[in-house]
Amino acid sequence: MVSRMFVGIFLICLSALLAFGGGQQEKQQTETGEKVVLTVWADSFFTPKWQGRQGPVLDAVWRDFEAKENVKLELQLVPYPDFQAKLLTALSAGNPPDVAIADQYWLASMVNTGGVEDIGAAWPQRDREDFFNWSVEGVMVEGKVYGIWYSTDARVLYFRKDILAEKGFMEPPKTWQELYGAAQKLNSTDQYGLGMVLSGEGGMCTLLIDYWSLDGGLVDSKGKPAFNSGANKEALTKIFEFDKMLYDEKLIPSDSVTYMSENDMNPRIFAGGYAMFFGGGWQIGNIQDNMNPQAAAQWDIHLRPQPAGGKPSSLAGGFDLNVFVSDPVKKDKAVKFIRHLSDPVNGAKFAAASRGLPVRKSVYQTDSFFSTDPYMIKYGQILPYAKTRPNSVIYPIISDSVMKAMGEYISGEKSIEQALSDAEKRVLTQQ
């Protein structure tokens, strides 16, 4: 009787497995006239499945494409933290999706693994000119075009207008000197003068803005690390010292060394714990969603304060659309799909709903939202100053090493000289 129950359960499981447990389909060659199926990998934020504003917007956009081109889009949600590893694993096994919406700085590693399709031929030059320069360069590796930049974010200074005004600051700080002074005055028991990220990729992005402001370069023309010599090294030294000063004087919370992405600052931001912070474009969306409207409206943005002798600078991150399928029929549809997503109308719709930033210059002039929303207008002005992280295979190692060096210096473990030289060694051995 017990055994019978057991056998019963087993048979049910077996049939359930047979019904639901099937494995991957063989890659099929498409016949003309038959509906093309495209597999799309993306993290939920970029898909119709997102439980927020852009969900329904994207749903309409995707369905529109499916109807127009007689294509079925098979979406597969991938968890963001392991997305890059998953893509690379799939690529190296020859089993990638047809299309992916990937974080921009993964491109170099994907191209190196092989399998990313060159779509230059299908993307007219005329259209390319509508994009910011850096966004076109950002999808190119060794002269070939491997995708289309979909949406971007810019790293900027966020500040509370009301709090600054209370302490007599009518304008946000524009230089390091002013920043330091303002942070000191704004620091109180309830609130930190400044918030920033000091580790991980977010920390590197924060650092790079100052680094580029001082004309620093990470890799030389041969692809070797160049940060530990000459003017580059001086620039890094200045940045390290400034950040350490902020940390030691408690103008930024000591937690900052554990933050790896700007989002880590969100709980404190929403609770009113910062007067200013270095954040990303998308955070205005987070703020508007999570804070009450009056408080949210007090946040404003500006270019990051520059070091003495530096120039205006920002960093553009974001996601691009890549195609991996080589079958001509499918590839054609895939490219049409990514062009559909990133065309002036749809791209703008997505950006508006998700509070991302469009990469097309024209959108800032013509779109009703982006040409009138006060934040977006400012972003439109800041973006031309932005640069993107280099499309180099060793970039992740450099990023990790430099951040590690910064951590070692801030904690007092090593001198800048020692930390940077160790960082360079690490990059060279790990290549």
Who contacts 339 (Cβ-Cβ below 8 Å, separation ≥6)?
122, 123, 127, 148
Min dist CB 138 to another protein, Å, is 17
Min dist CB 93 to another protein, Å, is 5
Q: Which is nearer to another protein, 66 or 130 (CB)?
A: 66
Min dist CB 214 to another protein, Å, is 26
Select from 307, 116, 325, 102 the least CA-distant residue to 209.
307
Q: Which is nearer to another protein, 189 or 368 (CB)?
A: 189
CA atoms of 173 and 155, how far apart (whole Å)? 16
Min dist CB 279 to another protein, Å, is 12
Q: Which amino acid is at 14?
A: L
Q: Which is nearer to another protein, 3 or 372 (CB)?
A: 3
Distance of CA 299 to the CA centre of its chain: 21
Q: Which is nearer to another protein, 346 or 392 (CB)?
A: 392
Q: Which is nearer to another protein, 88 or 122 (CB)?
A: 88
CB 138 within 8 A of CB 391: yes
CB 39 within 8 A of CB 76: yes
Who contacts 25 (Cβ-Cβ below 8 Å, separation ≥6)?
none
State whether residue 353 is helix, strand or coil.
helix
CA atoms of 205 and 356, how far apart (whole Å)? 17
Q: What is the DSSP letter of 252?
A: S
Q: Which is nearer to another protein, 30 or 263 (CB)?
A: 263
CB 147 within 8 A of CB 139: yes
CA atoms of 306 and 209, how far apart (whole Å)? 9
Min dist CB 21 to another protein, Å, is 4
Min dist CB 108 to another protein, Å, is 8
Q: Which is nearer to another protein, 43 or 123 (CB)?
A: 43
HSE-CB at 209 with a 13 A cutoff on CA atoms is 29
Q: Which is nearer to another protein, 6 or 230 (CB)?
A: 6
State whether residue 124 is helix, strand or coil.
coil
Q: Which is nearer to another protein, 133 or 263 (CB)?
A: 263
CB 108 within 8 A of CB 393: yes
CA atoms of 352 and 370, how far apart (whole Å)? 8
DSSP string, 135-201: HHHTTEETTEE--EEEEEEEEEEEEEHHHHHHTT--S---BHHHHHHHHHHH-BTTBEEEE---SHH
Q: How many residues does the chain have?
A: 431
Min dist CB 366 to another protein, Å, is 25
Min dist CB 22 to another protein, Å, is 6
Q: What is the DSSP letter of 342?
A: T
Min dist CB 127 to another protein, Å, is 26
